[in-house]
Each structure stands twice: as structure tokens, then as C-alpha cells.
């Protein structure tokens, strides 16, 4: 009888541990990188754009957000009413709040329409994080480019960034050479992604994991680029300083596309 009780007790312990491990609602658990994930929330829940405001390159624009971004069937439809091949301004959705140390997840899919002045170019969009300075198109910060064949490129916009570059193909390589680009006189500097993992005709999942002034871009489950030691220039001090927080910007850049499932998860440092 004593042995039987010990056996039962052991089974209960194993069962209890298994239930705790499989609790998908436990946001205090840690991922494989041992970073605690807390406070997951939707930046776009499929119903409204209350977390955002619009900025348009046309300074005379006085219209409403839904002229460029409209909600349809739980998605954000970019350039929803514009006629194909017409001339259109660029625009961006800016978050009302600033963020630091987070994982941003979104899905995107290309539409069919293209607009002047980019009617003869590949479809283009992007996500800017750690935005700082004036609300303009395009603002200072660090961009994860969304572009046909090039999603995951880094653009340092008014900032300075280091990444790991292959000596041979000059694209991102986790074991590559550290290269730094960006000066106070150069607004745009580019780092190419490692490989094109984009699904050109369907939905793509983009994850941007930001830790202070570092970030990693993952497209459809593949690591494609890495931001190291992002900095911004302090004109008063005449020196660079770490770029660790800012607003998030979702772009409309002359091509029809759709965004959905935009979530942000705060990460412990």
C-alpha cells in the first residue's frame, strides 16, 4: 500500500508539471533566448486604428486617414480607392506612443495597383522604428524595408547603424564583418538582407525584435538582418548617442498592400 501511494504521488507531480509547462496563457515564461515576454497587445486589432495617426508627404493634405489606410475584413488596405497608375503621395501611420525593448509582429501581402512616381519600380513599403525628430515623410529612425525581393533590408535614416556583412556577397551574414554606416550628412544608408524569403503572392510574417539600440529582423521564420548599436546624432553635443526608443511607423510608399495582425510584446532587457 505504501508503494502504491508513492506511485500515485509521483504521477500527480508529473501531471502537474506537464500542465504548467503547456499553459499557453502564461506570459511570464521565457523564450529560447531567455527573454521574459509580458504585456502583449494589439497595435491593430482588425477593428480600429486608435493607436495611430497619419502623416502624408503632401503638406497640403487635410483629409482623413481612410484616404490612404482603410480597414477591410480585419485588414489595413493601403491605397484602397486610388486608381492604378495615378499619381499618389507617400504616407505613414505613426504610433501615438513611443516604445523600447519589444517584439513587433505583423503580416503583409501585396496588392496589384502601383502608383506614380513609382509605377515602374518594385512594390515598396516598410516599418520604421525608434522614430525621432519631426513628423515628416520619411522621418529619422531605423527602417525594416518591406519591398518585393528585398524585405528585411536595413535603412539607417538620419541615424548610424552597424551590421554584419558577408565579405563575398556583401549581404547580411550572422558571421560576417562588422560594418558601420551613417554620418550627420548622409540621411539614407542601406544594409541588404541575407536572402529573399518573401512569399510574393500571399501573406508574409515579419518580426522585428528590438532590444535597446539593437534589433533583429525575421521574415517567415528566417533571420534576415540585424541592427547593432543604432545611434542618433546629438547636434548640441556634436556627438552620437544610443538610439533606444521611439515611435513605430507603417509605410505607404506608392504600392497597394495589406497589413494585418499587428502585435507588440514588451521584452525585459
Mapped to the 3 state alphabet, what secondary structure does 160-213 carry? EEEEEECCCCCCECCCCEEEEECECCECEEEECCCCCCCCCCCCEEEEEEEECC
Alpha carbon distance 217, 240 (integer Å):
24
Q: Measure Cα distances from 240 to 42, 161, 185, 230, 237 in Å.
A: 33, 11, 13, 10, 8
- Residue 58: closest CA among 137, 122, 151, 114: 137
Contact 91, 249 (CB under 8 A): no
Contact 220, 120 (CB under 8 A): no
Note down pLDDT in tens along the chain; length 269 residues: 444 444 344 433 333 334 333 333 332 223 343 334 457 899 999 999 999 999 999 988 988 999 999 999 999 999 999 999 999 999 999 999 999 999 999 999 999 999 999 999 999 999 999 999 999 999 999 999 999 999 999 999 999 999 999 999 999 999 999 999 999 999 999 999 999 999 999 999 999 999 999 999 999 999 999 999 999 999 999 999 999 999 999 999 999 999 999 999 999 76
Q: Measure Cα distances from 35 to 29, 99, 105, 265 in Å.
A: 9, 17, 16, 11
Alpha carbon distance 191, 181 (integer Å):
9
Contact 37, 25 (CB under 8 A): no
Contact 157, 186 (CB under 8 A): no
Task: Tell me the three cell numbers of residue 242.
Answer: 544610443
Grid-cell match 475584413, residue found:
73
Task: Tell me the three cell numbers of residue 112.
Answer: 496589384
pTM: 0.84
Amino acid at each position: 500500500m505504501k508503494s502504491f501511494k508513492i506511485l500515485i504521488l509521483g504521477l500527480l507531480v508529473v501531471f502537474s508539471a506537464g500542465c504548467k509547462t503547456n499553459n499557453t496563457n502564461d506570459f511570464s515564461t521565457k523564450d529560447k533566448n531567455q527573454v521574459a515576454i509580458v504585456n502583449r497587445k494589439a497595435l491593430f486589432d482588425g477593428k480600429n486604428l486608435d493607436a495611430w495617426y497619419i502623416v502624408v508627404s503632401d503638406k497640403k493634405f487635410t483629409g482623413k486617414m481612410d484616404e490612404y489606410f482603410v480597414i477591410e475584413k480585419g485588414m489595413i488596405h493601403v491605397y484602397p480607392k486610388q486608381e492604378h497608375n495615378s499619381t499618389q503621395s507617400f504616407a505613414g501611420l505613426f504610433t501615438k506612443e513611443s516604445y523600447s525593448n519589444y517584439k513587433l509582429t505583423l503580416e503583409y501581402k501585396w496588392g496589384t495597383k502601383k502608383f506614380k512616381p513609382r509605377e515602374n519600380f518594385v512594390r515598396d513599403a516598410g516599418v520604421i522604428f525608434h522614430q525621432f525628430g519631426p513628423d515628416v515623410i520619411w522621418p529619422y529612425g531605423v527602417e525594416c524595408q518591406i519591398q518585393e525581393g528585398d524585405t528585411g533590408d536595413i535603412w539607417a535614416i538620419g541615424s548610424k547603424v552597424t551590421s554584419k556583412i558577408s565579405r563575398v556577397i556583401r549581404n547580411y551574414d550572422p558571421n560576417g564583418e562588422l560594418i558601420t554606416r551613417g554620418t550627420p550628412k548622409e540621411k539614407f544608408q542601406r544594409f541588404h538582407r541575407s536572402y529573399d524569403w518573401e512569399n510574393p503572392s500571399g501573406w508574409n510574417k515579419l518580426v522585428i525584435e528590438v532590444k535597446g539600440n539593437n534589433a533583429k529582423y525575421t521574415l517567415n521564420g528566417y533571420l534576415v538582418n540585424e541592427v547593432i548599436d543604432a545611434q542618433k546624432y546629438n547636434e548640441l553635443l556634436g556627438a552620437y548617442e544610443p538610439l533606444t526608443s521611439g515611435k513605430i511607423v507603417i509605410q505607404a510608399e506608392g504600392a497597394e498592400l495589406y497589413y494585418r495582425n499587428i502585435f507588440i510584446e514588451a521584452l525585459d532587457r
